[in-house]
Structure formats: structure tokens, C-alpha cells
Amino acid sequence: MLKITLKRKKRNMYGSKTVKVDGIVFDSEKEARHYVVLKKREQDGEITDLELQKTWVLQDGFRDKTGRWRRPITYLSDFSYTDVKTGKKIVEDVKSRATARDDVFAIKKKMFIKRYENEYDFKVVV
């Protein structure tokens, strides 16, 4: 008798599935849908400079008093762009209700706002 075992693609800790759009792999269907909306807005001329998965330095790396190197603290945003109408630079992160309450995300959000609040508006898309 032949035994067949089906392997399911592993999901992330919050249960979302990865989705591919325009050859780009997104962490969730929600993030992929938001990308489609932003691409449409870019094509319509509402936004410019759309970037995906941009790394932001929240705290620079440093050497502690023992001489040990401490790596910088970074944050990886889902999207960043410029709103043509207002001229504001926007950084967006797509989150589920569960991940929006994550402690690490909350800390990084505060650090981002503190460092970049004069240059960028930070938005969480829930």
C-alpha cells in the first residue's frame, strides 16, 4: 500500500500565508492587497516614490564601555511613499489586530516616530 503524506507550507506565527503579486512575495494577503491599492494610487499620480521593505535605523550601532560592538536597531517598513497632494512622506506598516499589539512593534514604532517625526508620517494599516 502506498502512503502519501501532504506537507503544508509553513505559516508564520500569526497564521498568515505568503502571497506573490508582480513577482513580489508579501507576508500576508492583507499586505499584498494594500500593495495593489498603492500601485493604483501611484499610477493615478496620487503618490510617488513608492518603496517596499525599506530598512530604517532607529538607533545607531555603538561600542559599549567594554569595547563590545552593539549592532544598530533597525526597522523594516512595509511601504514608504510621498503623497503628491500634501507633499508629506509616509511610512506604512500593514498589521493584523494581533500584530498591531505586539510589544516589539510598539517599541519600534515609538523609536521610529521619535527619530523621524519631522520627516515622515507613520501609519499602521489594520
Parent domain of 38: 19-125
Rounded-to-10 torsion of CA 36, 37, 41, 43: 20
Q: What does the pLDDT read at residue 109?
A: 96
Cα distance between residue 81 and residue 88, in whole Å: 9
* Structural domain contains residue 7: no
pTM of the model: 0.80
Mean pLDDT of the chain: 89
CATH of residue 66's domain is: 3.40.1350.10
| 38-64 tens-digit pLDDT | 999 999 999 999 999 999 999 999 999
Q: What does the pLDDT read at residue 123?
A: 96
Where is pLDDT greater, at 80 or 10? 80
Q: Residue 7: which pLDDT band, with cuts at 50, 70 and 90?
A: very low
- Beta strands (DSSP E) in 2-126 are 19-21, 24-26, 47-52, 55-59, 62-63, 69-70, 73-76, 79-83, 89-94, 120-125
* Structural domain contains residue 3: no
Q: Residue 101: which pLDDT band, with cuts at 50, 70 and 90?
A: confident
* Structural domain contains residue 14: no
Number of domains in the chain: 1
Residue that is written with C-alpha cell 519600534 in the block = 108
Per DSSP, helices labelled H in the chain are: 29-43, 97-100, 103-116
* Structural domain contains residue 61: yes
Asked whether the beta carbons of 112 and 91 are under 8 A apart, the reply is yes
* Structural domain contains residue 8: no
* Structural domain contains residue 56: yes
